[in-house]
Amino acid sequence: MTTETSINRRVLLVDDEVESRVALADFLAHEGYEVLAAASGLEALDHLRWMWRPACVVLDMRMPVMTGWEVRKAMMDEESLRGVPIIGITGGRWRPDDAAGFAALLAKPIHYDELRLAVTRCVAPAADEESGLPHTA
């Protein structure tokens, strides 16, 4: 039997803006998630490849050095990372064809109710997979 503490409630939060990263990490931690924050796309990929398997990634799309788009592409190109759901966040505009490869797309400023719902939807399949139960949408 799976206990509440064994369910995967890990979220990797990736944002180059310190204030945004701290605020979102605090919110998610308050919601009961185990949060690992990364300040860049390169740092996020290092965490994903070598250290930490999250239920989902909350990913800022506009970052210097390696954009969120490049992180998403790298994740989709690597078989071991392909199945990790991505919640994209940006202060820019989304185009209709941007949705491919994302579990959700959120606009900044982030509305916490939307973030809560998006993360909950990502975590539910991970919890079902861990418990061996089928996930129903």
Write out pLDDT tens, residues 88-129.
Answer: 998 877 776 777 778 999 988 999 999 999 999 988 765 555
**Tens-digit pLDDT profile for residues 29-65:** 999 999 999 999 999 999 999 887 899 999 999 998 8
Domain that holds residue 44: 17-131
Q: What is the mean pLDDT of residues 6-20?
A: 86
Residue 12 domain flag: no
Residue 2 domain flag: no
Coil vs helix vs strand at 31: coil
Residue 8 domain flag: no
Return the axis-axis angle of helices 112-131 and 18-30, rounded to nearest 10°: 60
pLDDT value at residue 7: 42
Residue 62 domain flag: yes
pTM: 0.84
Cα→Cα distances 124→43, 55, 103, 119, 133, Å: 26, 9, 12, 9, 11
**What CATH number has the domain bearing residue 99?**
3.40.50.2300
pLDDT interval class at 22 (50, 70, 90)? very high
| Residue 42 CA neighbour count, 13 Å, CB half | 3
Residue 27 domain flag: yes
The edge-to-edge listing of strands for the beta sheet with 104-107 is 34-38, 10-14, 56-60, 86-90, 104-107
Residue 126 domain flag: yes
Residue 4 domain flag: no
pLDDT value at residue 134: 40
Residue 93 domain flag: yes
Q: Please check whether residue 10 is in contact with residue 33, taking contact to mean a CB–CB distance below 8 angstroms.
A: yes
Per the structure, how many domains does the chain have?
1
